[in-house]
Amino acid sequence: MKTILSCWLRLLWDTAPPLRIDGDVPHIVDGAIHLPASDCWTGHTAAAAHATAHLVYSPVRFDGDGLGPIVRCVLALLEDARVEALAIRELPGLARLWRPLHTATPALGSGFEALLQRLARSLIDPDYDDPDAWVRKGRELFYLDRGLGLPALRTPSELRGAATRLGNDIGQMRLPFNAKTYTPVPTYRDDHRWMWAADRLERVAHAAPSPTRGSSDDDRDDAEVDREMYPEWDRLISRMRPDWCSVSERPAPQAATSGADAAIREVGVRLRAPLRSLTRRPVVLRRQEHGDVFDLGALVDWDVARRLRAAPDGRVYRARRLRPAHPLVWLLIDHSASTTTPLGAERGSLLDAVVQSATATGLALQQLGVTFSVAGFSSYGRHDVRMQMVKGFDPSNDTEWTGRLRHLRAGGSTRLGAALRHGTRRLARRGSGPRLLVVLSDGLPRDVDVHDPLYLVADAHRAVQEAARLSVRTVCLVFAGQGADEARKVFGSRGVQRIDDLRDLPQAIARLVDD
C-alpha cells in the first residue's frame, strides 16, 4: 500500500514525502505525512493527496500571531480549499476523489462546525448551492472565477484578510465552539498542526520516540554450536596441518529494520545486468542447422552422403547457445575488527560499505532468482572461527536478511583460509551449476595466534586452489584500503576488484563475473 501511494504521489507531483501509516487522524510533521491505519484505498489516497497538495502548494507555515481560534479554523479551511482547487486545476481527476467525501447539506443545521462543513463543500463542489448567507459570502470571497475554479486568494495575506472577515462574521453569531475538540471534516483533511509554528514545536516534543532498544548480545553463548574442523596450510613445513581450525556456524542476530534504502536498491538494480551472465552459460552445440562456423565432421559426412547419392544431413554447423544455468553464490563478509576503519567524512566505516555492497548484491541475486547465501566471518584464534549466518540458501524475506546484515558488528580477526574452506564445503555439497564464492573484505588475512604475515596469505591462496578443484570460483571485492595487493596474492589478479565507492560496484562485479 505504501509503495503504491508513494509511486502515485511521485507521478502526481514528482515528490516523495515520507509516509507513515500510524496516526489517528491524518497529519503532517516535518514534511512526513502520517495517515490513519485503514484498509480503504480511497480514504488513503484522498488523505495522502490532500496532505501532499499542502506540501506542494502551501507556504511552509502561517503566521498565527493575533489570530483567534475561530479565525485560525477558517483560515485553515480556506487554505485546504485553495490547495485542492490548485490541485484540481492541474489534475482534474482529483475532484472525483475529494468531492464525494463532502456530504454536508443545509440539513446539518447552522451550528459552527456545520457551517464550516457547508462552506468546505461549497468551495469544492460547484453543483452544491448553499442558501446560507455566510457560506455564500465565503464562496464569493474565495473564487475569482467560479466556472474556471480560479481561487482569488493567492497569497497568505489575502487568505488571512478573507479569513479574518469570515471569522468575525461567524464570531458575531455567537455559536458555541470548542477549539480543543475541533477536527476538520471531512476526515481525510489533516489537522493543520503544520500551519502554526508554536503548536508544531509542542507536538514534536510529544512525538519524539523514546529510544529503548533491548539488544541481546548472543555472541557469548557458545554451548550449542556445531563445530567443523578444517586443515590449514603451513608454508614453513609445506604441509597441511590436519584438523587445525575449528569453524562454528551460528545465526546472525535479527534486528528490527525497514529494508534497504533507495540508494542501495538502485545499485541493486544496476547489478542485475552484470550478474545475469551467471544465470546463463554458453555451450557449443554440434550438428546444428544454423550457426557461425561449419562443424567439420558433419560437413565431411554431408559430402560423403552427397557423393553416394544418399540423402545428406544438412545440419553441418557448430553453434554457440546460452543455456540457463543454476548458479549458487555465497557472499562471505569479513567483519573483523579492522573493518571499523572510517572511510572518511559521512561515508561511515569500511564495514558499512561492505554491508551495503553485500545488500545490493544480495538484492540483485534475489531478483534474478539465484540461490545464494550470506554469512559474516570473524576469528578469535584457530579454535574459534565464527560464521554468522545472515541468510541460508533457502529463499528468505529480504527485510529479514538485510536487517541481520546491517546488524553485523565488527570484532575479531580474519582467518580467511578457514572461512574459504567452510564456504567451499557448503557450496560443493549443493547443486551442479556454477558455484561462486564472493569475499567482501579489507583484504588483510590476520589472526591473533599467527605472527608470520605471510602464513595466512599462503594458506588462503591454498584454500582458493582447493576450491577451484571442487569447481568453486572464489573472488574478492576489496574495499578502500591497502589490502588489494595481499588479496591478489590470495585470489590471483583476475579474482580481485578494488572498489572505493558503492557506485563502482556494478562495474567491479561485471569484471569479476565476466571472466
Partner 1 sequence: MNHVAFGADSRAALAPGDPLASFRVAREPFYRPIADEMALFEAASAHRLPIVLKGPTGCGKTRFVEHMAWRLGRPLVTVACHEDLGAGDLVGRWLLDGDGTRWQDGPLTLAARFGGLCYLDELVEARADATVVIHPLTDTRRMLPLAQRNEMVHAHPDFQLVVSYNPSPMARQMKSSTRQRFCALHFGYASPEEETAIVARESGLGLEEASAIVAFGLRTRRLQGFGLDEGASTRMLVHAAILVVQGLTIVSACRMAMVDALSDDSAVHAALQSALDAAF
Smallest gap from residue 324 Cβ to partner 1 (A): 13
> Is 468 one of the binding residues for partner 1 (CB under 8 A)?
no
In the sheet with 293-294, reading across from the earlier edge strand, the strands are 280-288, 317-324, 293-294
Contacts of 34 (CB under 8 A, 6+ apart): 20, 21, 22, 23, 26, 27, 28
> Is 430 one of the binding residues for partner 1 (CB under 8 A)?
no
> Is 270 one of the binding residues for partner 1 (CB under 8 A)?
yes
Output the DSSP codes for 378-390: EESSTT-EEEEEE
CB 251 within 8 A of CB 389: yes
Candidates 179, 207, 273, 454; binder of partner 1 (CB under 8 A) is 273
Candidates 100, 106, 314, 342; binder of partner 1 (CB under 8 A) is 314
Query: How many Å apart are CA 313 and CA 367, to the nearest integer?
Result: 43
DSSP H helices in 250-310: 262-276, 296-307
Number of residues that bind partner 1 (CB under 8 A): 40
Residue 252, SS3 per DSSP: coil
> Is 4 one of the binding residues for partner 1 (CB under 8 A)?
yes
Candidates 19, 35, 49, 418; binder of partner 1 (CB under 8 A) is 49
Q: Which is nearer to partner 1, 92 or 342 (CB)?
A: 92
Q: Which is nearer to partner 1, 275 or 467 (CB)?
A: 275
Phi, psi of 19 (to 5 degrees): -110, 135
Q: Which is nearer to partner 1, 97 or 375 (CB)?
A: 97
Candidates 57, 182, 244, 302; binder of partner 1 (CB under 8 A) is 302
Smallest gap from residue 361 Cβ to partner 1 (A): 15
Near partner 1 in 57-116, by CB under 8 A: 91-94, 96-97
Phi, psi of 120 (to 5 degrees): -55, -45
Query: How many Å apart are CA 362 and CA 260, to the nearest integer?
Result: 11
> Is 510 one of the binding residues for partner 1 (CB under 8 A)?
yes
> Is 393 one of the binding residues for partner 1 (CB under 8 A)?
no
Q: Which is nearer to partner 1, 271 or 457 (CB)?
A: 271
Candidates 148, 173, 198, 269; binder of partner 1 (CB under 8 A) is 269
Angle at 71 between CA 170 and CA 128, to 5 degrees: 60
> Is 322 one of the binding residues for partner 1 (CB under 8 A)?
yes
Q: Which is nearer to partner 1, 38 or 254 (CB)?
A: 38
Can you tell me which residue has the cell 599462503?
Answer: 458
Can you tell me which residue has the cell 544431413?
Answer: 313
Query: How many Å apart are CA 486 and CA 417, to the nearest integer?
Result: 13
Candidates 26, 27, 35, 45; binder of partner 1 (CB under 8 A) is 45
Query: How many Å apart are CA 404 and CA 185, to the nearest integer?
Result: 44
CB 397 within 8 A of CB 445: no
User: Quick one: 488 exposed, middle or buried, by C-beta within 10 A (0-12, 13-18, 19+)?
Assistant: middle
> Is 3 one of the binding residues for partner 1 (CB under 8 A)?
yes
> Is 400 one of the binding residues for partner 1 (CB under 8 A)?
no
> Is 292 one of the binding residues for partner 1 (CB under 8 A)?
yes
Which residue, among 109, 107, 142, has the nearest Cα to 126 in the 3D structure? 142
> Is 14 one of the binding residues for partner 1 (CB under 8 A)?
yes
Smallest gap from residue 97 Cβ to partner 1 (A): 7
User: Quick one: 182 exposed, middle or buried, by C-beta within 10 A (0-12, 13-18, 19+)?
Assistant: middle
Which residue, among 396, 409, 417, has the nearest Cα to 461 in the 3D structure? 417
Candidates 146, 321, 326, 494; binder of partner 1 (CB under 8 A) is 321
> Is 305 one of the binding residues for partner 1 (CB under 8 A)?
no
> Is 272 one of the binding residues for partner 1 (CB under 8 A)?
yes
- Candidate segments 114-122, 210-218, 235-243, 316-324, binder of partner 1 by CB under 8 A: 316-324
> Is 274 one of the binding residues for partner 1 (CB under 8 A)?
yes
Q: Which is nearer to partner 1, 224 or 514 (CB)?
A: 514
Query: How many Å apart are CA 408 and CA 56, to the nearest integer?
Result: 40
Q: Which is nearer to partner 1, 3 or 172 (CB)?
A: 3
Q: Which is nearer to partner 1, 162 or 499 (CB)?
A: 499
Name the percent of the chain in helix, strand, coil, to the closest 5. Answer: 45, 20, 35
> Is 12 one of the binding residues for partner 1 (CB under 8 A)?
yes
Smallest gap from residue 93 Cβ to partner 1 (A): 4
Write out the residues near partner 1 by the rule CB under 8 A.
3-8, 10-12, 14, 16, 45, 49, 91-94, 96-97, 262, 266, 269-270, 272-274, 291-294, 302-303, 314, 316, 320-322, 506-507, 510
